[in-house]
Amino acid sequence: ALSFARKLYDDTKVYSDAKKCTMRGSAPALSNVPQLNSLYDEAYATLERLDSYVKTCETELCACLRAKTIPPARLVQAIAVAKIKAVDTAIELAFRLKQEVGSYALMSATGFDNTDFLQCCKFAEGDSRILSQKLARDCFGAFTKNEQGDTGVQSEIELDLCQRIASIIDEQRAVNPKIGKIEAWDCAWREVYRLAEVICERVMHEHTPSGAHMAARSKL
């Protein structure tokens, strides 16, 4: 997904660098249009950060494989985050680029005609929604058991979200004592996915080399 997004941006930039726009003064290229130029900067910084993060995960996993040891829960969590963030970010960046390059995005052989590949990535090798649910469930489970493991609550915002999820579940059980665990959990789905997003950002921050493209952090 990351390689696809990078190639899409590289190929589109070649086009927009050469595409001349009327009434653009001394900077006539389409690439110099402020919103597109800003998107290129943001996208490449974001992709660099994700590439660095994925490489860190791969390095740690390779060490486990060479040592013939089971990856720790912390690394399993980090790999799940890599899948979620890489695919979701690639989809977002591809969509945003499509909005800025006009009819070029409708032409064949530009890469935009193959962006459904990213949707395949979203549901293959671990559905991103299911992985997000697992991240949130593991954190909430540790919260309810007051455990301090690597996949448990690690920040104030995670604690707050777990408390809100618990409150929603309690409210649903008060209204309907016969409600099932899954049904009660589903009633807090907004908080569940928000918790997963917060965990993803924290885990990425923890695994990204210090100082590596931190300007892009708030964009993810």
The domain in which residue 112 lies consists of: 2-125
Nearest to 157 by CA among 216, 105, 205: 205
DSSP secondary structure string for all residues of 151-189: TS--SHHHHHHHHHHHHHHHHHHHH-TT--HHHHHHTTH
Q: Are 85 and 20 part of one and the same domain?
A: yes
**Predicted TM-score (pTM) of this structure:** 0.86
pLDDT tens digits, one per residue of 130-170: 999 999 999 999 999 999 888 999 999 999 999 999 999 99
Is residue 119 domain-shared with residue 158, that is, in the same domain? no
pLDDT digits 0-9 by tens, 63-97: 999 999 999 999 999 999 999 999 999 999 999 99
Q: Decide which of 55, 90, 125 is a domain's last residue.
A: 125
- Range with the lowest mean pLDDT among 31-40, 54-63, 100-109, 124-133? 124-133
Categorize the per-residue pLDDT at 215 as very low, low, confident or very high, splitting at 50, 70 and 90: very low
